[in-house]
Amino acid sequence: MDEKEQVRRAALYILQSGLVKGTWGNVSLLSGGKVYITPSGVPYDELEAQDIAVVDLESGDQIEGRQRASSELPMHLQIYRDHKAIRAIVHVHSIYATAFACMRKPIPCYVEDQAMILGGSVQVAEYALPGTWELAKNASKALGDRFAVLLSNHGAVAVGRSMKEALVAAQILEKSAQIAYLVGKNGKLLEENDIQYLRKVYIDSYSRKLEE
């Protein structure tokens, strides 16, 4: 499957799964120094491969696509430039993750799949207006070595070494937020050494099927 089709299908998936509403959110894939990203303002169920914008990672210039790249392009570029292993980014506005983003509270790590796939608790980026380089830098910094980050009063970002992995991370992010909300202060957090062990198991072996 080519890059544009991967992005188109991923965008349709996040719409159908309820991770976004309307045309909010965005999806991108990095391949060969080019960022393939959803366009601005086009309904995901109407997207065609030709609508996917192609942007040069180094210059930030759009070099392909009949539609303008998402307004959140700076955030995608910044994350790819700062985190060399990342190859896909999914920006969602899922309900529970966004609720934590609005409270500006990290999502604690209660469950093993969160430890494995996201890398532990999910941190919150400092607030900045959408589409700005300030937001891009804040998001990339708060992401750290995790596979998800919350955007204050905005939404969330999940990443991966493949589109498949980024989509799984987006699902686990929302599930983790729901669990954290439901257990409140009554939950028992995973120990940090157990989180690190589970993450290593995932990165070293369990995740191989999601890397392609």
Can you name the residues that pair with 134 across neighbouring β-strands? none
CA proximity to 36, closest of 21, 23, 52:
52
Of all residues in the chain, what percent are helix, strand and coil, respectively (each to 5)?
Answer: 45, 20, 35
Residue with tokens 């469950």: 111
Neighbours of 113 (CB within 10 A): 15
Whether 88 and 28 have beta carbons less than 8 Å apart is answered as: yes
191 is known as an active-site residue? no
Angle CA(149)–CA(69)–CA(23) in degrees, nearest 5? 65
Whether 19 and 94 have beta carbons less than 8 Å apart is answered as: yes
Can you name the residues that pair with 56 across neighbouring β-strands? 34
As given in the structure block, the two tokens for residue 171 are 């699902």
CA–CA dist 91, 149 (Å, integer): 10
Catalytic residue among 3, 72, 165, 174: 72
- Residues marked active site are found at 72
